Structure 1
Amino acid sequence: MIIRSKAPLRLGLAGGGSDVSPYSDIFGGLVLNATINLYAYTTIEETDDGMITIQSYDCDYFEKFPVTETLPIDGKASLIKGTYNRVVKDFKIPLKSFKITTYNDAPAGSGLGTSSTMVVSILKAFVEWHDLPLGNYEMARLAYEIERKDLNLSGGKQDQYAAAFGGFNYMEFLPGDVVIVNPLKVKRWIVDELEASMVLYFTGRSRSSAQIIDEQKRNTETGNSKSIEAMHRIKQGAIDMKFAILKGDMDVFCKVLGKNWEDKKQMANAITNSMIEQVFDVALASGAKSGKVSGAGGGGFIMLFVEPTRKKEVVEALEKLDGFVVPFDFTDGGAHGWKIYNSENEELTKH
């Protein structure tokens, strides 16, 4: 039997960073994000060789281990190994030989939540394989614990929930690790207008978000008033953008997007740099109205809001730089998986 899964990457539209502890624990966080048609993929193939075979195309990693309860966490394919270890520990799944293969539509460090989305994708494959009792909330929470607590990787909480639920979501992050996901029913014409008005540009440079996020954490822990006030404004931006999207008010959407970026640059020194500023200068000079970096900053993807009739001008100007424009659409569905049986008499199932 073969099990496959996919989970969508996300654009952080407003409020990003307020989902990171300790800010969310002290003040509560609000984030508005939306998933797009770029994905993290997982395939599990049952084998009979007595081995666990791991192939991660993103890490350029391939290795085999004898079937065991615990795979070594050694900095190589840690997301796969950490997820397997936690699933075995929590659900006592039968130890079997298998091959797991993963790959992502976007590079790690791109600001689209690739790592967290990959954990959700891997979890969903195990959910399908062993019929584990995990709904969207439980799967997102477990993915968060694997990445942030088991593997001690810095970051927030929004990415796991975006990948699990999919679509446009207004998320509340409350003290005690309480998360409330409010799916938004956005009218089709508004989604069409957003797609017509947005350009997604990859700078060509991935970055580690850990340093930026750790600085944000220190600023909150030490009571840095400038940083904390900026985060309060970023959080308010999620509220403002929610109403803008539901009403189809593109002027407010544009303003909030740009304001979120200006406030975000107050959070840590490495959030912007000369390369990012050059992209904004070129985009704004050719017709873009506002924009922000998706994710922690420092590189990765930049989303730009443009007048649709000038979109071609903006794209052509950006293509003269070192990065490239990535076409995208917004998506409704979250993580899903399916099984492919070897016997012709068995039916394919999908959830």
Structure 2
Amino acid sequence: MIIRSKAPLRLGLAGGGSDVSPYSDIYGGLILNATINLYAYCTIEETNNGIISINSDDAHCYESYLVANRLEIDGKASLIKGVYNRVIKDYDIEPRSFKITTYNDAPAGSGLGTSSAMVVCILKAFIEWFSLPLGDYETSRLAYEIERKDLNLSGGKQDQYAAAFGGFNYMEFLKNDLVIINPLKIKRWIVDELEASMVLYFTGASRSSAAIIDQQKKNTSSGNEQAIKAMHRIKQSAVDMKLALLKGDMNAFARILGQAWEDKKKMADAISNPMIQQVFDVAIPAGALAGKVSGAGGGGFVMLMVEPTRKKEVVNALKQLDGFVMPFQFTEGGAHGWKIYPTDKINVK
């Protein structure tokens, strides 16, 4: 039997960073994000050779291990091993041999939540394989615990929930890791207008978000007044942008996006850099209204709001830089898995 799964990546539209502890624990966080048609993929193939074979294409990791209750976390394919170890332990599953293959439509460090989407994707494959009783909330929470607590990887909470639920979501992050997901029903013409008004540009450079997130945590813990006030405004931008989105007010959407980027840059020194600033220096004169980096910052994808009639001008202007424009559409569905049975075992009547 073969099990496959996929989980969508997301654009962080507003509120990014307010889902990171200790800020979310002290003040509460608000996030507005939306999934797009770029995905993390996982395939599990049952075998009977006593070996666990791992093919992580994004990490360029191709390893084999004897079947065991726990795989050592040694920096190789940590996301796969983290999910495997937790599932085997929590659900008292008898270990068995299999081959697992994973890959992503976007590079790691792109600011689209690739790592968390991959954890959700891998977990979804195991859920499908073993028929585990996990809904979207439970899947998101377990994926968060695996990534942030078991593997001790820095980051917030929004990415796991975005990948599991899919679509446009307004998220609330409260004390004690309480999360409330509010799916938004956006009219089709508004989604079309937003897609017509956005350019997604990859800077050509991936980055590790850990150092940026760790500085944000330090700023909150140390009571850095400027950083905390900036994060309060970023959180409020999620409220304001949600209203603009529901009304289809793209001018307000662009204005909020631009102000949120100015506030975000105050959260950590490495959020912006000359490479990112060059994108804005090229895009704004060509017709871009505003923009911000998706994710923690420092590189990855830049979201730009444009007047639709000038979109081609912005795209052409960006061609002089080293990155590329990524075509995309917003998607509604979250992570899902399915089984493929050998055809010789299927009886067709």
Q: Which TM-score band (shorter chain)?
A: over 0.9
Q: What are the residue-to-residue correspondences of 1:279-294 with 2, within 5 Å?
A: 279-294=279-294
Match of 2:243 in 1: 243
Rounded to whole Å, the distance in 2 between the matches of 1:243 and 1:308 is 21
The one-letter code sitting in structure 2 at the alignment partner of 1:24 is: S
Match of 2:259 in 1: 259
Match of 2:83 in 1: 83
Residue 94 of structure 1 and its aligned partner are, at CA, apart by 2.2
Rounded to whole Å, the distance in 1 between the matches of 2:336 and 2:256 is 32
The one-letter code sitting in structure 1 at the alignment partner of 2:126 is: F
1:178 aligns with 2:175: no
Q: Percent identity?
A: 75
1:226 aligns with 2:217: no
Residue 92 of structure 1 and its aligned partner are, at CA, apart by 1.2
The one-letter code sitting in structure 2 at the alignment partner of 1:311 is: K
Q: What are the residue-to-residue correspondences of 1:36-51 with 2, within 5 Å?
A: 36-51=36-51
The one-letter code sitting in structure 2 at the alignment partner of 1:83 is: V
Residue 105 of structure 1 and its aligned partner are, at CA, apart by 0.3
Question: Bigger shift: 92-101 or 2-11?
Answer: 92-101
Rounded to whole Å, the distance in 1 between the matches of 2:20 and 2:207 is 18
Match of 1:320 in 2: 320
Q: Runs of at least 4 residues of structure 1 off by over 2 A?
A: 343-348
1:206 aligns with 2:206: yes
Match of 1:152 in 2: 152
Secondary structure, in 3 states, of the residue corresponding to 2:196? helix
Match of 2:191 in 1: 191
How big is the alpha-carbon RMSD for the aligned residues of Structure 1 and Structure 2? Answer: 1.0
Secondary structure, in 3 states, of the residue corresponding to 2:346? coil
Rounded to whole Å, the distance in 2 between the matches of 1:102 and 1:153 is 19
The one-letter code sitting in structure 1 at the alignment partner of 2:247 is: K
TM (normalized to structure 2)? 0.99
1:62 aligns with 2:80: no
Secondary structure, in 3 states, of the residue corresponding to 1:159? helix
Residue 212 of structure 1 and its aligned partner are, at CA, apart by 0.2
**Cα deviation per residue 1:286-314 (whole Å; 9 max; x = unaligned)?**
00000000000000000000000000000
Secondary structure, in 3 states, of the residue corresponding to 1:220? helix
TM (normalized to structure 1)? 0.98
Rounded to whole Å, the distance in 2 between the matches of 1:305 and 1:286 is 12
Match of 2:101 in 1: 101
Residue 343 of structure 1 and its aligned partner are, at CA, apart by 3.5
The one-letter code sitting in structure 1 at the alignment partner of 2:128 is: E
Rounded to whole Å, the distance in 1 between the matches of 2:214 and 2:10 is 22
**Cα deviation per residue 1:136-160 (whole Å; 9 max; x = unaligned)?**
0000000000000000000000000
Rounded to whole Å, the distance in 2 between the matches of 1:244 and 1:344 is 54
Secondary structure, in 3 states, of the residue corresponding to 2:176? coil
Gaps of 5+ in 2: none
The one-letter code sitting in structure 1 at the alignment partner of 2:272 is: T
Gaps of 5+ in 1: none
Contact persistence 1:341–1:347 (CA under 8 A):
no
Secondary structure, in 3 states, of the residue corresponding to 2:35? strand
Rounded to whole Å, the distance in 2 between the matches of 1:344 and 1:220 is 59
Rounded to whole Å, the distance in 2 between the matches of 1:177 and 1:239 is 20
Secondary structure, in 3 states, of the residue corresponding to 1:94? coil
**Cα deviation per residue 1:142-188 (whole Å; 9 max; x = unaligned)?**
00000000000000000000000000000000001000000000000
Rounded to whole Å, the distance in 1 between the matches of 2:66 and 2:145 is 26
Rounded to whole Å, the distance in 2 between the matches of 1:19 and 1:132 is 27
Residue 38 of structure 1 and its aligned partner are, at CA, apart by 0.2
Residue 319 of structure 1 and its aligned partner are, at CA, apart by 1.2
Rounded to whole Å, the distance in 2 between the matches of 1:141 and 1:325 is 33
**Cα deviation per residue 1:305-332 (whole Å; 9 max; x = unaligned)?**
0000000000011011000000000000
Residue 346 of structure 1 and its aligned partner are, at CA, apart by 3.3
**Cα deviation per residue 1:226-269 (whole Å; 9 max; x = unaligned)?**
00000000000000001111111111101111111000000000
Residue 110 of structure 1 and its aligned partner are, at CA, apart by 0.3
Question: Bigger shift: 51-60 or 91-100?
Answer: 91-100
Contact persistence 1:34–1:330 (CA under 8 A):
yes
Match of 1:110 in 2: 110
- Aligned residue pair count: 348
Residue 344 of structure 1 and its aligned partner are, at CA, apart by 4.1
Residue 345 of structure 1 and its aligned partner are, at CA, apart by 4.7
**Cα deviation per residue 1:62-116 (whole Å; 9 max; x = unaligned)?**
0110000100100111000011000001011221100000000000000000000
Match of 2:136 in 1: 136
Rounded to whole Å, the distance in 1 between the matches of 2:338 and 2:278 is 44
Secondary structure, in 3 states, of the residue corresponding to 2:334? coil
Secondary structure, in 3 states, of the residue corresponding to 1:176? helix
Rounded to whole Å, the distance in 2 between the matches of 1:4 and 1:290 is 39
Pick closer, same or farther for the CA change 1:46–1:345 going to 2, 3 Å.
closer
Question: Bigger shift: 86-95 or 302-311?
Answer: 86-95
The one-letter code sitting in structure 2 at the alignment partner of 1:70 is: R
Pick closer, same or farther for the CA change 1:347–1:196 going to 2, 3 Å.
farther
Match of 2:309 in 1: 309
